[in-house]
Amino acid sequence: MWEELAATAMNIRFLGAHNLDSCDSKFTCLLIDDALALDAGALTSSLSLEAQQRLKAILLTHQHYDHVADLPALALNLFFQGAGVSVYSSQRVYDALATHLLNGELYPKFLDIPEGNPTVKFSVIEPNASVEFDGYRFLALPLNHTVPAYGYQITSPRGKTLFYTGDTGGGLAACWEHISPQLIVIEVTAPNRYKEFAQRTGHLTPDMLKQELTAFRQLKGYIPTVVVVHVNPSQESEIGAETALVAEALDASITVASEGMDLCL
């Protein structure tokens, strides 16, 4: 299935689109072509055991709980099947997982077991580096958050390209210089009245999103399709209304994601 999908298009499913977990919302998590995950906040809660076993790689943006939450349960499933998954992120993320999550006390050390062929096969990506995996290319770019965090540009074998921020604050101009995606999946955590909170915690509001997309257009000459994630569900209607105003002002396609939403590039 991976090879067939990669040969035609990039298929994206939003397993989670929010910053809070409930029966109505799930942590932000994307699935590409049924085999590549961006963050791990809603993998086991959204996928069958069989679908989990089809995962080939996970890109983690940073170590905050909502972005790594389902990795231990996924690893346990794969361990019992004699399978594994490749995980890519920074050294800081590896250290956090090894020390606090997959540490042999909270959960088994799946970064190390089985010996010689660990269930979680972690590869460190350096800032601004690009790696190849099964014909896909991942470019890791540093973003502004409360801990070191990456955004990823994903390029498929057919040249389909998206950029996923994970969590980020403002000041993305340096990042925009290195990417030219067809789709940007970007966080907008809070409405405009929470500007001070967003600036302090490394997140975006709709007005801050407008500034970042304006800078992108000035640099690149266009604004790609934009999908907003990491939305606070209790303020979703307010964020959606303010985001719609941004789309109108910029004459851009901006959609607030929902769980189960599918896109095809």
Query: Which of 160, 169, 201 is CA-nearest to residue 33?
Result: 160
pLDDT value for 192: 98
pLDDT value for 4: 53
Q: What is the pTM of this model?
A: 0.96
What are 108's strand-pairing partners? none
Q: How far is Cα 65 from Cα 198, in angstroms, rounded to an integer? A: 18
Architecture of the domain spanning 2-264: 4-Layer Sandwich (3.60)
pLDDT value for 7: 57
Digitized pLDDT (tens) for each residue of the chain, 265 residues in all? 445 544 578 999 999 999 999 999 999 999 999 999 999 999 999 999 999 999 999 999 999 999 999 999 999 999 999 999 999 999 999 999 999 999 999 999 999 999 999 999 999 999 999 999 999 999 999 999 999 999 999 999 999 999 999 999 999 999 999 999 999 999 999 999 999 999 999 999 999 999 999 999 999 999 999 999 999 999 999 999 999 999 999 999 999 999 999 999 9
Cα atoms in the Cβ-side hemisphere of radius 13 Å centred on 199: 7
Q: How far is Cα 58 from Cα 195, in angstroms, rounded to an integer? A: 31
Q: How far is Cα 177 from Cα 256, in angstroms, rounded to an integer? A: 25
Contact 255, 183 (CB under 8 A): no
Distant-in-sequence, close-in-space partners of 226: CB < 8 Å, separation ≥ 6:
183, 184, 185, 186, 213, 247, 252, 253, 254, 255
CB atoms within 10 A of CB 118: 17
- Tokens, residue 71: 């990795």
* Strand 11-16 versus strand 29-32 pairing type: antiparallel
> Chain-centre distance of CA 21, in angstroms?
16
pLDDT value for 8: 73
Task: Give residue 12's identity as a one-letter amino acid code.
Answer: I
Secondary structure, 3-state, the chain: CHHHHHCCCCEEEEEECECCCCCCCCECEEEECCCEEECCCCCCCCCCHHHHHCCCEEECCCCCHHHHCCHHHHHHHHHHCCCCEEEEECHHHHHHHHHHHCCCCCCCCCCCCCCCCCCEEEEECCCCCEEEECCEEEEEEEECCCCCEEEEEEECCCCCEEEECCCCCCCCHHHHCCCCCCEEEEECCCCHHHHHHHHHHCCCCHHHHHHHHHHHHHHHCCCCEEEEECECHHHHHHHHHHHHHHHHHHCCCEEECCCCCEEEC
Cα atoms in the Cβ-side hemisphere of radius 13 Å centred on 46: 30
